[in-house]
Structure 1
Amino acid sequence: MSAGRAIGPAGWLRIILRALAMIAALALAVPAFYVFKPFTRRNPVPRRFLAALGRISGMTVRRTGPAPQPGSFLIANHVSWLDIPALAGATGSAFVAHDGLAAFAPLRWLCDKNDTVFIARHDRASVTRQIEQVRAALAETGALTVFPEGTTSDGTGLLPFKSALLSALETDADHVPVQPVWLDYGREVADIAWVGVEPGLDNALRVLARRRPVTLTLHFLLPLEPAARANRKTMAKAAQDAIQAAIDRPA
């Protein structure tokens, strides 16, 4: 089902059933979060809840390559909202997100429970504070993921990687593993990608209406070598080159 195609009765039924399942998962996750909160530093409930959302949406996640070390900084391409439940479920990662998401209170609450770091894209004065937030999140979470393209792409290539948020690693490069990740939706990518002028709700409904499962392969690539981590610009370029090479590699 491609963008612009009307959703039929069977598709709407799948949307309703999946939405109800997501509400049920949230109803279970909220009390479970507060039960675990006093006893764990890294609450396992958000990771399991996000993984459940991915499965309810019809997504199957596969993994290749070396698993991230604890406290890793993951640099990934960005194709769909499904990227977040997939990476969180596989690694326990928190995320760096733009502050526009924080404007919607229920979404802000959910993001906070997964230790999301909100950044103001156009507020140059807050860069130092944002870098400190990134460092704190790296110290407290199992992993932290940034999507340096700054928006979603069509999944067949990459948009330019922006290096500003990698400034947090310039003085901690010897202590934080930095690992590129290629999110690969295979031949289904055109039906999954959220690009162009398509509203977010329309994209979510399209995905939830699908009969065919969504298969996403997380290709964990080799962590960056010290020479590639001299500064934020070299890190951004090295990560982009590594992911592009994986995309271009013959199957």
Structure 2
Amino acid sequence: MIWLRKTALVLHLLRGLLTCALLFPWLGVRSRAWHIRRWSRRLLRICGVEVEVVDATGAPHTGAARQGAMVVSNHISWLDIYVIHSWQPVRFVAKSEIRSWPLIGWLCDKTGTIFIERARKRDAHRVLHDITDVMLQGDLVGVFPEGTTTDGTSVLPFHANLMQAPISGGLPVQPVALSYLDKATRQLSIDPAYIGDLTLLQSLNAVLKAAPITARLVIAPPLEAVTSNRRELAEEARQAVAKHVHGARQHAGTVPSNIPPVEPVGTRQTTT
């Protein structure tokens, strides 16, 4: 069974590569976003992951994301990117080494990833300008300010460097909180956690062997960058994320009856 799902993943990856190569050069921004969202949802479904998106009160979140903002989240797994993409495609900031990864690096590049050479201080300044510019143009930029992954039971301090971009542009920060739950019991699941010495293949195997998982994404109220202190903004964002990660833990034993999963991947978005 696991080999069938791995085969499906490989075929799905190839489909993504063909879509980027053959369709993306001819598509507009909204059409690209629709394809990214649909591809991400199908990947999660192959992995046995269902996504539910709620607001800060726990009610289903149905509104569109605010454009021209920095999306910040806690970081647990390689799945995080696709969970967020299934809600709203964003342009993630990633280390430059990923660009050289076979196939995956090319796919990330074509879906708008902003790469940063972390060993070069000058590159951080370039990336800050790039992030500010694309947000001012209406794009969402996604970052994982913890700088590493955790098992999802806590939120590490947020690095503040990239927080200068929303401050410079006078743009909001959108905190989102991620939790992975056992779909049946609603208890926290650490199966998706990509931590320690795990290889990507080992992490993938753990996800594919796990019981069905619910990825719970909480969309917290946006933060206005009214402070000029990026560390203060980073801490405010961390507290917002941590509050809702801890809230997921407190309510993990309760199965909500009114939260539908993310719409089926075959449903085309009709808004313009």
> What secondary structure, in the 3-state scheme, does the structure 1 residue paired with 2:204 have?
helix
Cα offsets for 1:77-124 (capped at 9, x unmatched): 010111111111211212111112112142221111211011122211
1:178 is matched with which residue?
173
Distance 2:67 2:29 in 1: 14
State the secondary structure of the residue aligned to 1:185.
Answer: strand
Confirm whether residue 206 of structure 1 aligns to residue 227 of structure 2: no
* Structure 1 position 47, deviation (Å): 3.2
Aligned residues: 235
CA contact (8 A) 2:74 2:155 kept: yes
**Does the 8 A contact of 1:26 with 1:49 survive in 2?**
yes
Distance in 1 between the 2:52 and 2:144 partners?
A: 20
1:136 & 1:103 partners in 2: Cα distance?
A: 25
**Per-residue deviation, 1:19:** 2.5
Unaligned runs of 5+ in 2: 56-60, 182-186, 252-272
Tell me, in whole angstroms, the C-alpha distance in 1 between the residues paired with 2:190 and 2:223: 30
Match of 1:55 in 2: 45
User: Which deviates more, 21-30 or 76-85?
Assistant: 21-30
- Is residue 40–residue 86 contact of structure 2 (8 Å, CA) maintained in 1? yes
Q: Distance in 2 between matches of 1:226 and 1:118?
A: 24
Residue 266 of structure 2 aligns with which residue? none
Give the deviation of 1:41 after TM superposition: 3.4
Task: Name the counterpart of 1:230.
Answer: 228
In the other structure, the counterpart of 2:16 is 26
3-state SS of 2:169 partner: coil
SS at match of 1:137: helix
Amino acid at match of 2:175: P
Aligned to 1:154: 151
CA distance, structure 1, for counterparts of residue 193 and residue 29 of structure 2: 35
Q: 1:244 and 1:204 mapped to 2: Cα distance?
A: 26
Deviation at 1:226, TM superposition (A): 4.7
Are residue 112 (structure 1) and residue 103 (structure 2) matched?
no
1:2-52 Cα distance to aligned partner (Å, 9 max, x none)? xxxxxxxx4334333x32442463366246624xx3351352323322232
Tell me the percent identity: 31
TM-score, normalised to structure 2's length? Answer: 0.78
Post-superposition offset of 1:142? 4.1
2:195 alignment partner in structure 1: 195
Q: 1:41 aligns with which of 4, 26, 29?
A: 29
Please tell me the residue identity of whatever aligns with 1:177.
P
Query: Structure 1 residues 168 and 158, CA, compared in 2 at 3 Å: closer, same or farther?
Result: same
Partner of 1:93: 90
Q: Which amino acid aligns with 1:216?
A: A
**RMSD, aligned α-carbons:** 2.2
Q: Is the 2:5–2:47 contact (alpha carbons within 8 Å) kept by the matching residues of 1?
A: no
Q: 1:31, 1:112 → 2: CA distance?
A: 11
Bigger Cα displacement from structure 2, 144-153 vs 217-226: 217-226
Name the counterpart of 1:3: none
Q: Deviations over 1:101-154 (max 9, x none)?
A: 112142221111211011122211222111112123324564211000111111
Q: Which residue of 1 aligns with 2:217?
A: 218
For structure 1, list consecutive stretches of 5 or more residues without a partner in the other structure: 1-9
Distance 1:53 1:72, change over 3 A: same
> Could you tell me how far 1:57 is from its partner in structure 2?
1.6
Q: In structure 2, give the amino acid aligned to 1:206.
A: A
Is 2:158–2:234's contact at 8 Å kept on the other side of the alignment? yes
- Structure 1 residues 79 and 194: alpha-carbon distance in aligned structure 2, compared to 1, 3 A threshold: same
**Conserved in 2, the CA contact under 8 Å of 1:88 and 1:94?**
no
For 1:38 and 1:20, how far apart are their aligned partners in 2?
Answer: 25
What SS class does the counterpart of residue 92 from structure 1 fall into?
A: coil
TM-score by length of 1: 0.84
For residues 130 and 28 of structure 1, what CA distance do their matches in structure 2 show? 28
